[in-house]
């Protein structure tokens, strides 16, 4: 059985609703988290993201100024000085399947539909901590691998094509981001 040392994790939560922020803070603190930073809109969250370098971002979707989807897109900039690889959990009252696809295509790591539960939140956090997926970079996408199924039998129109060309080693952008702060 695995347990998470929440006291070693730094969270950034972003929600314009103060009650939901309080609920999230309460849940994370009772899981054992000590470092929980809060923003009430996407712009502030992006600033805090660069400043505090959180391990995990939990964001609402619908917010004024710029929303959680735009926040995810801003974080997932491969050339960014800040860490573009941090897990993003989208916690939202949007409950339509098509929204999951839109969030996924913006680089969101996990989707959690409200109403929130302690169990649902814990499971999403456990998922991003234990089952890190590789990142995919294409002309139009940068984010966690959108295919959770590793089967090679998929032959649909969105199948990635092309054989392996080369393997490059690059210094970790995460380390670069952390050392630049």
Partner 1 sequence: MAKEKPGELEIKTFATHHVITQPNPLRKVLRRIPPDIDHDDPVARAEQALADLSGEFKQWMTIEADRLSAAHAVVLRHGFSHETREELFRAAHDIKGDAATFGFPSAGAAAESLCRIIEHAPDLDKVPPELITHHINAIQAIVRERTKLDTSVMANALSRQLRGIADEFLLKVNHDRPEHLEAILAPSIAPAE
Binding site for partner 1 (CB under 8 A): 1-6, 8-9, 16-17, 19-20, 22-23, 26-27, 29-32, 55-56, 62, 64, 85, 87, 92-98, 100, 113-122, 128-130, 132, 134-138, 145, 160-175
3-class secondary-structure state, position 148? coil
- The nearer residue to partner 1, 20 or 43, going by C-beta atoms, is 20
- The nearer residue to partner 1, 51 or 132, going by C-beta atoms, is 132
Beta-carbon contacts of residue 153 (< 8 Å; ≥ 6 apart): none
What minimum distance in Å lies between the beta carbon of 74 and partner 1?
19
- The nearer residue to partner 1, 138 or 153, going by C-beta atoms, is 138
Between helices 68-75 and 97-105, what is the axis angle to 10°?
30
What minimum distance in Å lies between the beta carbon of 59 and partner 1?
13
What minimum distance in Å lies between the beta carbon of 113 and partner 1?
5
Residue corresponding to tokens 């491969």: 78
Phi, psi of 135, rounded to the nearest 5 degrees:
-95, 150
- The nearer residue to partner 1, 153 or 163, going by C-beta atoms, is 163
Burial (Cβ within 10 Å: 0-12, 13-18, ≥19) of residue 38: middle
What minimum distance in Å lies between the beta carbon of 78 and partner 1?
8
The DSSP bridge partners found for residue 39 are 14
The two three-digit tokens of residue 161, written as one number: 């094509």
What minimum distance in Å lies between the beta carbon of 179 and partner 1?
11
């Amino acid at each position: 059985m695995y347990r998470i040392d929440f006291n070693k994790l730094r969270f950034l939560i972003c929600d314009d609703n103060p009650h939901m922020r309080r609920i999230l803070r309460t849940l994370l603190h009772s899981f054992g988290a000590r470092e929980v930073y809060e923003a009430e809109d996407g712009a502030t969250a992006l600033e805090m993201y660069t400043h505090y370098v959180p391990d995990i971002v939990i964001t609402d979707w619908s917010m004024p100024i710029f929303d959680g989807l735009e926040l995810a897109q801003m974080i997932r900039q491969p050339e960014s000085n800040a860490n573009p690889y941090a897990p993003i959990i989208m916690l939202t009252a949007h409950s339509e399947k098509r929204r999951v696809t839109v969030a996924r295509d913006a680089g969101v790591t996990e989707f959690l539909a409200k109403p929130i539960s302690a169990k649902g939140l814990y499971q999403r956090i456990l998922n991003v901590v234990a089952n890190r997926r590789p990142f995919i970079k294409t002309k139009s996408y940068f984010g966690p691998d959108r295919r959770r199924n590793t089967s090679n039998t998929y032959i649909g129109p969105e199948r990635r094509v092309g054989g392996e060309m080369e393997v490059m080693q690059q210094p970790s952008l995460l380390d670069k981001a952390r050392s630049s702060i």
